[in-house]
């Protein structure tokens, strides 16, 4: 549950709804029905296990937002998907009716449980080294829950990380067809581009020393730098790739329609530690996509987050 103001509305409602439905609850302190509806909505957000985000707007404190939605009475709930309102209701509906409303757009509450079982089996297969079974389980889960962007992201990331590039491109296509494309899927596309470059372009087989010779002769040989960065990405040499891309950005921010900057941002997105999910045993030092992390899981994430933060600052300085 997120409290919404004019300051975070664009990020937490409009942009967030591009990848996950957001149910906006307009309420007020003095509203009796709001006090009965609110706890039920919070309960359902937990029960639906990440299928939607509950965003609450205090109509008295955020009158500009209430006016923008034409709110005339409260409680009023508006379901946002793809950056636009798609449905809504007024009044404190009972839990059964709320489930019907949500199921109409989210595909039912029961399905995510089945998906959880599939993903649990996929995780077990990954831990045992059975990549084929893990991919199959995740594919089945995604077929049953095609609107689940988190699942699609994890599935495509696994496919790319294990070299199933054609399958990854097919599974990624629906997410790339949206406008705007969510950053997480743009990041996967950039990673896929790097691997396809290595497979299809002769420079993909060059030793790094061959790139270095060209760059030493001409610091502004951006073609060589960018190609080298992609080769490094394909080898999971993420920090070295970031450094090479940063050199291009510092010298020419607009080169090749800002491809280096976009790729830099994509790597940061890929390296950003995932938000914590349900508690469980300590994980291994490799993500599903094959990105190596060093040390115990809790230390990994702290170090990874610090790395990402440091390179975000470097990019910010380069762009200023």
pLDDT in tens, 247-303: 999 999 999 999 999 999 999 999 988 765 444 434 444 443 444 433 455 566 778
SS3 218: coil
| 34 part of the active site | yes
**CB neighbourhood size of 105 (10 A):** 15
- The two tokens of residue 171 are 């599974």
Q: Which residues partner with 23 through β-bridges?
A: 54, 79
Could you report the per-residue pLDDT of 225-259, keeping only the tens digit for each?
A: 999 999 999 999 999 999 999 999 999 999 999 99
The active-site residue, picked from 31, 41, 134, 242, is 31
Question: Could you give the C-alpha distances from 303 to 99, 119, 227, 271, in angstroms and in order?
Answer: 41, 27, 28, 11
Q: CA 187, 192, 197: angle at the middle one, nearest 5?
A: 130
Q: Give the β-pairing of 76-81 and 22-27.
A: antiparallel
Q: Are 116 and 63 in contact (CB under 8 A)?
A: no
Select from 229, 227, 249 the least CA-distant residue to 315.
249
Q: Which residues of the chain, if any, have pLDDT below 50? A: 109-114, 277-295
Burial letters for 184-207: b for 16+ Cβ neighbours within 10 Å, e otherwise?
bbbbbbbbbebbbbbeeeeebebe
Q: Is the pTM of this model over 0.85?
A: no
The active-site residue, picked from 13, 22, 34, 160, is 34
| 77 part of the active site | no
Q: Are 106 and 21 in contact (CB under 8 A)?
A: yes
């Amino acid at each position: 549950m997120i409290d919404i103001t004019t300051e975070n509305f664009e990020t937490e409602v409009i942009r967030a709804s591009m990848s996950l439905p957001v149910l906006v609850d307009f309420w007020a302190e003095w509203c009796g029905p709001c006090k009965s509806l609110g706890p039920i909505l919070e309960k359902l957000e937990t029960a639906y296990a990440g299928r939607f985000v509950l965003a609450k707007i205090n109509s008295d404190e955020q009158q500009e937002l209430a006016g923008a939605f034409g709110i005339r009475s409260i409680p009023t709930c508006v379901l946002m998907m793809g950056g636009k309102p798609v449905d809504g209701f007024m009044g404190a509906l009972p839990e059964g009716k709320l489930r019907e409303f949500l199921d109409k757009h989210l595909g039912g509450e029961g399905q995510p449980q089945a998906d959880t079982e599939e993903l649990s089996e996929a995780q077990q297969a990954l831990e045992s080294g059975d990549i084929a079974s893990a991919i199959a389980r995740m594919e089945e889960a995604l077929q049953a829950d095609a609107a689940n962007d988190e699942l699609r992201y994890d599935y495509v990331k696994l496919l790319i990380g294990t070299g199933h590039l054609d399958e990854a491109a097919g599974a990624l296509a629906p997410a790339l067809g949206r406008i705007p494309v969510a950053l997480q899927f743009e990041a996967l596309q950039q990673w896929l581009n790097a691997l396809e470059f290595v497979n299809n372009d002769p420079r993909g087989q060059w030793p790094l020393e061959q790139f270095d010779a060209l760059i030493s002769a001409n610091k502004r040989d951006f073609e060589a730098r960018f190609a080298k960065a992609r080769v490094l990405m394909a080898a999971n040499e993420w920090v070295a790739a970031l450094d090479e891309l940063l050199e291009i950005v510092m010298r020419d921010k607009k080169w090749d329609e800002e491809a280096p900057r976009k790729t830099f941002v994509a790597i940061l997105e890929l390296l950003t530690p995932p938000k914590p999910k349900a508690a469980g045993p300590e994980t291994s030092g490799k993500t599903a996509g094959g990105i190596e992390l060093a040390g115990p899981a809790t230390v990994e994430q702290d170090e990874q987050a610090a790395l990402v933060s440091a390179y975000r600052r470097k990019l910010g300085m380069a762009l200023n």
